[in-house]
Amino acid sequence: MQRPWLMLVCILTVILTTVKPSSGKDYHEDANEAKVFLFTYFIGNGEDGLHLAWSEDGANWQPLGNGRSFLRPQVGSRLMRDPCLILGPDGVFHMVWTTGWQDRGVGLAHSKDLLEWSEQQYVPLMEDVAGARNCWAPEIIWDPDSSQYVIFWSTTIEGRFPETAGSGDNGWNHRIYRTVTGDFKEFSKPELFYEPGFNVIDATITRGPKGYVMVVKDETRHPPAKNLRVAFSSTILGPWSAASGPFSPKDIWVEGPTVLRVGSWWYIYFDKYTQQRYGAMRTRDFEQFEDISEQCRFPAGMRHGTALAVPTEVFNALRKAADR
């Protein structure tokens, strides 16, 4: 006869070893839970705002709402380029974007359903930094270690990093900077986030198989690079490793990477901007990469954005409203 207390101990042991504590969702990690993938993007110069595409397999992307704009820019120079969208642990979608070529701040907005949006906010991240010329391609990610949101972007600051001065187009000489916030009301003073030793833009971060992975674009123009590389860290706030060698297709200029977990693969999408088309590679370890561009389909005119998994019920409501 089995003792009751022994049975209780066995049950508790099973529960404690199978249930993991939640630390908030990382928007790149939900691919196996959500059934629908969403891709934010812009077209043209970003004048008409946010566009959305969707996919069930991460390879075949269709424009939502016949390619219409879902949110028009109202702050800064009134552009909405490089929209980066995440689903936070608070159950709210948070989005940041580039508001203008020479704006020294970024756009910020929030939504519970991607239909109704908060008032747009201009966050003057680099307005008080002497010599700062711009804020390009901001991204946002939830950091479970600090329980804060990390916003990071690329900026050229006149006079800094003279060793790579003249390596970029039109005098641009970017590095990656970051701020943190817990409430989107107060933001920490901008800090240098990643200095790989070259002109760098378009950083994006995902959780990889062994910690965090940052994908960046080497923006060096003289001599031409214009390729994608990766760096690694055990925490989002770093320190980050030296950048790897380039992994994007050889002799093709690319930009705007975003990463999506699809089953056991990570898909890395990017803009082949000189060819006016999108491309993709996939990897299981961020060491070996396979070009799957010819297996993928993207909306015409699609430019730099973010791919993420969204709850099915959110997508269904969004699609229903978009088709009206």
Residue 199 belongs to a domain with what CATH number?
A: 2.120.10.30
- What is the pLDDT, as a whole number, of residue 271? 98
* 298 and 53 Cβ atoms separated by less than 8 Å: yes
Between CA 43 and CA 22 the distance in angstroms is 37
Is 11 domain-assigned?
no
% the chain with pLDDT above 70: 90
3-class secondary structure, 136 = strand
CA–CA–CA angle 240, 245, 246 (5° rounding): 110
The CA–CA distances, whole Å, from 218 to 136, 196, 230 equal 14, 9, 10
The pLDDT tens digits of the residues spanning 124-164 come to 999 999 999 999 999 999 999 999 999 999 999 999 999 99
Angle, vertex CA 190, rays to CA 184 and CA 193, nearest 5: 110
**Do 231 and 218 meet the contact criterion of CB atoms below 8 Å apart?**
no
Query: What is the C-alpha radius of gyration for the chain, rounded to an integer number of angstroms?
Result: 20
Nearest to 226 by CA among 274, 165, 194: 274
At 165, which helix (H) or strand (E)? Answer: none
CB atoms within 10 A of CB 241: 15
5 within some domain: no
User: Looking at residue 130, what is its pLDDT?
Assistant: 97
Q: Which residue(s) pair with 229 in the sheet? A: 216
Q: Is residue 307 part of a domain?
A: yes
CB 270 within 8 A of CB 279: yes
pLDDT, position 20 = 34
Give the domain range for residue 175: 25-322
Q: How far apart are CA 266 and CA 249, in angstroms?
A: 17
> Does residue 169 lie in a domain region?
yes
Collapsed DSSP state (helix, strand, coil) of residue 40: strand
Residue 118: per-residue pLDDT: 98
CA 324 from chain center: how many Å?
A: 29
Q: Which residues of 171-200 are buried (b: 16+ CB within 10 A; e: fewer)?
A: ebbbbbbbbbbeebeebeebeebbebebbb
**Ranges of the chain with pLDDT below 70:** 1-34
Q: Please count the structural domains in the chain.
A: 1
State the DSSP string of 203-248.
EEEEEETTEEEEEEEE--TTTT--EEEEEEESSTT-PPPPP----S
Number of Cβ within a 10 Å radius of residue 322: 17
